[in-house]
Amino acid sequence: MSTLPPVTGILARFVAETDYSNFSEKARENGKLHILDTLGAALAAVSTPTATIAFDYCKAWGGAPEAAVWGTRNRFPAALAAFANGLLGHALDYDDWDAFVHAGHPTSIVAAAAIALGEAKGSTGTEVLASYILGIEVLTRLAGGGPNLQARGFHSTPVLGSLGAAATCARLLRLAPEKVAAALGIAASAASGIQRQQGTMVKPFHAGNAARSGIEAALLAERGFTADPAILEAPRGFCDTFFGAGAWDADKIIGGLGNPWFLESPGLGFKLHPCSAPQFLAADAALHLKRQHNIDFAQVEKVTVSVPPLRHQRHYHAEVKTGLRGKFAVNYVVALCMLDGRLELETFSDERVNAPDAQDALRRVEVIADATIPEPGPYCPVTVELRSGGRLSYTATVPKGHPDNPLTVDEVTGKFRSNARLAFSAERIERVAHTVLNLETVADARELAQLLAAA
């Protein structure tokens, strides 16, 4: 007989019964900043091909106009709106990330589900924020209880995000613990995502699909749809299936829930660069060399980047022909850091990737698989060889934006403003920022949704 504690039931009661007063002030403030940051990343993505195709797909379904798609005039049923907004939030790979338990990119999923369902149900801002914090806590606790899903080929963002979104939506609907457990059980069978899809439109689809799955799971559970009540801990259940039987720790999932809240400590990271997080150390090292030594790329003979073997396998691409691929290619990221001295949204456009100077710079970057660097790569040496014979090196260790090297509140809000200007006027941007940063004062989530929709 199994001696594992009832993980599903404990998480379900935690979601259903935690009072808003239990959240620390830091968890609340950080939660609002992460929601704001993700909204900015989403608004910057409204005109991307990925988003355009997704919107067209959603329009074909029709349905009740329950919730807004951010930055557009589109309104869809809550689950479809969450799909579109979750996809938007992750489309540019500029949303937040977890650096500690391999939880991926949580907020693009959880915030999309919370805001869409909150709008459809007329929830208060406090309820939206509470559900978001709880969803983040559930998915990061699950992540911390097992090994890195990415090593098994899964994309942890949607696999864990589906359950985080289900917890969020179950809380918004104020479901009883038994129905919260059912929502988690339904979402456990909807959880999916393959790591191999990075560099394609399917990666942001993962986030949208998980947000949709979370809403669907909660709405089905509300209506009495049932699932295995021990789906997380049971043999051949979620944890055994995704983590491996005997490879996960129930105590790490349920021990000391909310003490501290993950959003408080260790916290999620904010992205300084609009590319995948594994490239950040290489980018920071290359930019440091470029700026510290005022390097003209015409003087560069060769750039060498050393990464651990698994990172080399996943993030070195000899040929880079699209902006999406460039976000996941450490050689392209370093090449453009050295060439342009910055990484911007335009850095990862197809036009910039295929420009002759970018392709020439790409050919001058060598990426070495260095087995002496431990996985997943806690440091990244970059060396520049100059045509004059000079040699410059720098090793980055903690990327800017990591919770141990955080962005300031002003830097986060500045990033939001920079991203949101691609969709909104300056006046609208300030209204959105004020509303999100004072979310507890919002009487009805439809107020925020109206601000997020196109005029």
Beta bridge partners of 396: 380
- pLDDT tens track for 247-299: 999 999 999 999 999 999 999 999 999 999 999 999 999 999 999 999 999 99
Residue 440 has pLDDT above 90, yes or no: yes
Distance CA 313, CA 315 (A): 6
Task: Determine the distance from the C-alpha atom of residue 352 to the mean position of all C-alpha atoms in its chain, rounded to a whole number.
Answer: 25
pLDDT score recorded for residue 1: 39
- For residues 433-441, give the mean pLDDT: 98
Does the pLDDT value for residue 83 go beyond 50? yes
pLDDT at 97 over 90: yes
Is the pLDDT at 155 greater than 90? The verdict is yes
Q: Does position 332 have pLDDT exceeding 90, yes or no?
A: yes
For residue 90, is it left (φ>0), alpha (ψ between -120 and 50) or beta? alpha
Of the chain, the percentage scoring pLDDT greater than 90 comes to 98
Say if residues 165 and 213 touch (Cβ distance below 8 Å): yes
Average pLDDT value for the chain? 97
Rounded to the nearest 5 percent, the helix, strand and coil shares of the chain are: 55, 10, 35
CA–CA separation, 200 vs 91, rounded Å?
A: 10
> 3-state SS of 188-228?
HHHCCCEHHHCCCCHHHHHHHHHHHHHHHHHHHHHCCCCCC
Residue 3: the pLDDT is 60
Share of the chain above pLDDT 70, in %: 99
Smallest CA-to-CA distance from 218 within 125, 323, 135 is with 135
Confidence of residue 393 (pLDDT cuts 50, 70, 90): very high
- Tokens representing residue 265 in the block: 């400590």
pLDDT on residue 455: 77
In this structure, what are the phi and psi dihedrals at residue 440, rounded to the nearest 5 degrees?
-65, -20
| Residue 178 pLDDT grade (very low, low, confident, very high; cuts 50, 70, 90) | very high
pLDDT of residue 13: 98
Alpha-carbon torsion angle 272, 274, 278, 281, nearest 10 = -40
Question: Mean pLDDT across the stretch 48-71?
Answer: 97
